[in-house]
Amino acid sequence: MKRFVCNLIIGILTILLAVILIGGNIWTRSVPVATVRGSYAEQYAQDNHLQLLDIPDSLNSDLDIQYEEFTYNISENGIIIEGYNGVGNNVVVPHTINGITVVALGTDFFINSDSITDLYLPLSVYAVEASHDDNCELYLNSHSPLIDALSDADWNINVMADSEYAKVNYELGEIPFLYNYDNGGIELTAYTGSDSIVVIPSHINGYPVTTVSFEMCSYSGVVFSNTVNQITGKTRQYYMVPIVVLEIIACGIATVAAAIAINIFIPRRNKTADILLLSQSSVTLGYVIIQFAVALCVLFAVKNLNLWVGMIINLIIFVMFIISIILLSGSRKHIEHTVEKQTGLSQSVKEIKSICRGINLDFINDSDLKKKATSVIDDIKYLAPSNTREVADIDSKISRALLSLSSENNDEPKVRNIIDELDLLIKQRKSHSIR
């Protein structure tokens, strides 16, 4: 019955795997997208029946991201920016670039950056080595050390309160995209960041981002800016991404291994080792259940799990299952061997008791001898099973003595010697049993 239940569960899981495998190559899904109302991306999403993420209108301005690229040198104190590589008018200098703090503007900054009309500097910048530019206004936090440092120069400075300063994003130091310039716009070709939801910037270096390919968007979601006017690539993808395939293969291996273990390596019912047989079946089903649970976690909770990490986790589960089955099999064989040995040792006691039942003491005329013989025979009838090889040897001697007793029924002196021998053997047996 237990084997039938195990096979039934394995069969159901196998059918489930087949459905997932077939369905994964038929069903498709779209990358969830968020768009600005009235934009090209919104119309594109509606025309292609893409899944839409709901983003409140109040957050649209926060998602208007603009990346800038600068030339710079690295000093012992931090980064000194020497120039701006774009054509934007409103430029925000980041707080850090590649994890290094931006501390100053170089002497040739405005010579190399003549398009800038509004320049936002973070609190980390404490020096401006460049000559002032009449066409550029500086936007500084009210606590910036530059306010006093530049007070004697003819800079156009706008002091921002903390609330205004907080609205400017100074954390866009690295551009997490590969891109090409295309007819006055930017074409994004790849995403190099680590966020699961990708926010498409509106501008890079002052150029609008106009073209995005869905080939780079295999993520949990994409937020499109309103500057995008061309979207290319496949808008839907099959569920059979590499990590999904890996987990399906791992679950398939689990069901096959479980079927082999249940029907080949785990023996049929054996009363002497029934508990261990149940343990082997439980470990097998536990392995299958754990493997499927891990697969479900990967598919629905940890979707971006690294492929190699997934392989290592599945391998560890499989190896632990194999080790458990081997250990339990060894324990089962040991128990069966012990039981078999004990059965062989106990068989001699059964033979002795059988001989006792066939002995008739009525031929003994001496009442004292008959009484002692009856007592000895009664002791033999209640002997415990043999538990050691020494006790089994004594049982063999008792057996031979009993056979002699039954054949010497007319010679009381010999009977007396046999009874004394049996009495001595019983005492020896008891002393060995106690040890």
Contacts of 131 (CB under 8 A, 6+ apart): 107, 110
Exposure of 203 in the CB half-sphere (CA atoms within 13 A):
15
Q: Which residue has the higher pLDDT, 245 or 308?
A: 308
pLDDT digits (tens, 9 = 90+) for 159-173: 999 889 988 888 887
Helix pair 367-381, 307-357: axis angle to 10 deg: 160
The two tokens of residue 98 are 């590649």
Task: Look up the pTM and report it.
Answer: 0.49
Concatenating the DSSP letter of every residue in 326-354 gives: HHHHHHHHHHHHHHHHHHHHHHHHHHHHH
Residue 303 DSSP class: T
Please report the DSSP string for 244-289 in residue order: HHHHHHHHHHHHHHHHHIIIIIS-S--GGGHHHHHHHHHHHHHHHH
Does residue 272 carry a pLDDT above 50? no
Which 3 state secondary structure label does DSSP give 7? helix
User: What does the radius of gyration of the chain's CA atoms come to, in whole angstroms?
Assistant: 44
* Beta-carbon contacts of residue 248 (< 8 Å; ≥ 6 apart): 17, 20, 21, 24, 295
Q: What is the band of 41 on the pLDDT scale with cuts at 50, 70, 90?
A: confident
How many CA within 13 A on the CB side of residue 25? 7
> Is residue 122 a contact partner of residue 143, using CB atoms and an 8 Å limit?
no
Query: Residue 273 pLDDT more than 50?
Result: no
Q: What is the mean pLDDT of the chain?
A: 77
Reported as a single tens digit per residue, the pLDDT across 180-233 is 888 888 998 888 887 778 888 988 888 999 998 876 655 567 888 888 988 887
The residue count for the chain: 435
pLDDT in tens, 314-354: 888 888 888 877 776 666 555 555 555 555 555 667 777 77
Distance CA(208)–CA(212), nearest Å, equals 12
Residue 8 pLDDT greater than 70, yes or no: yes
